[in-house]
Structure 1
């Protein structure tokens, strides 16, 4: 019998597989980057799109969407802090992308690890 985590993972993978190209390939890579950067995160569907939480029943911290644009985001449940500097009180919580290159993949992994390390305490 499949666990809740396994069922949720299958739902996330099925959701990604139903996406049109080129988003499907990009989102498959995004899923791999997120799960490699923070293997403790549990995938599940969140507002119709893939989301990742520390536990199957805890709030989603990281998500990605494929609407008009592909988006990586941090939910309001992630500990968010103002950027400071030129951005003042703006809180970085969402990033749009069209594709993944090496620099973007590295930054996605950093964002995910940061969200998890702050919220795992």
Structure 2
């Protein structure tokens, strides 16, 4: 069966033929650069970071928004000492050193078939010589929420 040709619109979000970054990847890097430029210390920054995370979540289409809201609630309840912040334009939660412990990447951001709950190196999920650091989500059931609570608790233990 022959492949259908992609339109110009379909290729704008893909890496160029020379192996460059896609438009979406470039936008995420620009968001990260802006985040770094605006980083500072103190309560105002934490309040601004929280407002930015909530704004990013509010911008998400469903079902990403619903999952991100629920994950935000879980993380802030299980690990209230983690600071919400945006990270490459995604909601993330950082430790006292500013290192990202976990993040949520909506499916819509990269036109993926699933959203991702990811954990970075600051998360203490080590289990032998191999362990999972990201989880695909198409929905967030009560059973999933219970697993996420346990993962977050373990990540910050």
Which residue of structure 2 lines up, in the alignment, with residue 114 of structure 1? 154
- Where in structure 2 are the equivalents of 1:98-113 lying within 5 Å? 98-113=138-153
How many residues of Structure 1 are paired with residues of Structure 2 in the alignment? 110
Whole-angstrom distance in 2 between the partners of 1:113 and 1:90: 19
- TM superposition shift of 1:113: 0.8
TM-score, normalised by the number of residues in structure 1 = 0.83
Structure 1, unmatched stretches of 5+, are none
Structure 2, unmatched stretches of 5+, are 1-42
Which residue of structure 1 lines up, in the alignment, with residue 130 of structure 2? 90
- How much is the aligned-residue C-alpha RMSD, in angstroms? 1.5
Whole-angstrom distance in 2 between the partners of 1:39 and 1:9: 12
Whole-angstrom distance in 1 between the partners of 2:58 and 2:78: 21
Larger Rg over CA atoms: 2
- TM superposition shift of 1:25: 1.4
1:72 aligns with 2:103: no
TM-score, normalised by the number of residues in structure 2 = 0.65
- TM superposition shift of 1:102: 1.1
